[in-house]
Amino acid sequence: MAEYKVTPWEVSGNVDYERLIREFGTQKITDELRQRLVRAAGEDNVMLRRGYFFSHRDLDLVLNDYEKGKGFFLYTGRGPSGPMHIGHLIPLVFTKWLQERFGVNLYIEVTDDEKFLFKDGLGWDDVQRYAAENIRDIAAVGFDPNKTFIFKDSEYVRNVYPLMLKIAKKITFSTARAVFGFTNKANIGEIFYPAYQIVPTFFENKRCLIPNAIDQDPYWRIQRDIAESLGYKKTASIHSKFIPPLQGIQGKMSASMPESAIWLTDDEKTVKKKIMKYAFSGGQPTVEEHRKKGGNPDIDVSFQWLKIMFEPDDSRLKKIEDDYRNGALLSGELKQILTDKINDFLAKHQERKEKCDVEMFMRNGKLAQKMWESYY
Ligand code: TYM
């Protein structure tokens, strides 16, 4: 069996997502639950339909609460360790869909503290620069400015420090070590940090739903152990797989391998060059052979990216898949389809980024104002 590793700080190898559900103790999103979510949302979603969001904790309870009129709220986040790539945007695009469909509040934590503490060689000024840039990218996704609060940990801390301490007091070092694998080399800031990532799950006395890739689940496991003893609800969570790096379907697109990722700032030429040069192909070495034997979309990164979300039309995706398998579609042509989709996506993102009003999300919107007046 291929080995793999999934922690909040490292994802490598060929991840067996079914096995991960068992290891992490999460639940699979069954067809029935997916249909229930889609019914409540009033609209289907490509990432749900294609199984990209595949696992959850208590999503059924969120839907119960919603149907009973108790509501829920959304929470997600980003660690500003560098510029953002397409993989970081995907949970946010899904979160936007949830917010739009359910009309709920959304909290987005930008963890400058976490990245400063965990990344050797990353200085405070660098993290601040990345945080400012990342916040613009997050705001550009197009959330509801009156129902979304984007906050940076080091700035918002005075409003939440007492709550953070109450959380920290509930978590022993031995739990943190077992869940996160801390060694004697860990600095003491790293050991305290998980308390802050739990804080936003308590922002409202409703159930919290966290859209994220499954690497973040260890935090929610701890949250669920301590929430009720502090008078709050266990958080719910909905987990995605990882968007693979260009070089092959193993692991995840990662900031530490710049050529493995498409960055949100990449221009058209760079996107084309990267995809043509690096995107792992399931095609045959020569055109003749490809026409005869066909390609394998299951290991082809371009096809996998189209499947995750860049080609939402099922019948068009099916045609691409069939044509590729039977050799009618060449690797270069498949790569061009993806290149055009990504360039279109990035152009729209850049345009929204130019126009968006970050201060609405951080200070001036209705929810942001309320949050700056709240002490936890
Ligand atoms: P970060 O910045 O590593 O990642 C931000 C979000 O992107 C997801 N992600 C990916 N999703 C798909 N494919 C990939 N290749 C990929 N790489 C990363 C992550 O799972 C995450 O959802 N500690 C967090 C910040 C945080 C947070 C949260 C995240 C604070 N509170 C609540 C999610 C929910 C971090 O460093 O994320």
* pLDDT tens profile 112-160: 999 999 999 999 999 999 999 999 999 999 999 999 999 999 999 999 9
Cα→Cα distances 151→131, 167, 313, Å: 10, 19, 35
Q: Would the CB of 138 count as within 6 Å of ligand 1?
A: no
Would the CA dihedral through 353, 359, 361, 362 be positive or negative?
positive
Using the mean position of ligand 1's atoms as its centre, give its distance from the Cα of residue 261 in Å. 15
Substitution candidate for ligand 1 out of 95, 150, 216, 307 with most atoms within 8 A of CB: 216
pLDDT digits (tens, 9 = 90+) for 70-79: 999 999 999 9
CA 313 to chain centre: 22
Q: Quick one: average pLDDT of 301-329?
A: 97
| Local structure of residue 85 (DSSP, 8 states) | B
pTM of the model as a whole? 0.97
Contacts 24+ apart (CB under 8 A), 220-226: 220/57, 221/24, 221/25, 221/179, 222/171, 222/175, 222/176, 222/179, 222/194, 222/198, 223/198, 224/57, 225/175, 226/167, 226/170, 226/171, 226/198
List the structure tokens of 180: 């996160």
pLDDT bin (cut points 50, 70, 90) of residue 2 is low
Cα 175 to middle of ligand 1, angstroms: 22
The rounded mean pLDDT for the chain is: 96
Tell how far the Cα of 328 is from the centroid of ligand 1, in angstroms: 38
Please give the Cα distance from 288 to 285 (Å, whole number).
9
Is the pLDDT reported for residue 238 higher than 70?
A: yes
Place of tokens 């079914």: 18
Q: For residue 249, give the DSSP letter.
A: S
Residue 80 CB–ligand 1 contact under 6 Å: no
- 1 has a pLDDT exceeding 80: no
Ligand 1 pocket, mutate which of 88, 127, 160 (most atoms under 8 A from CB): 88
- Model pLDDT for residues 246-297, shown as the tens digit of each residue: 999 888 887 777 788 999 999 999 999 999 999 999 999 999 999 999 999 9
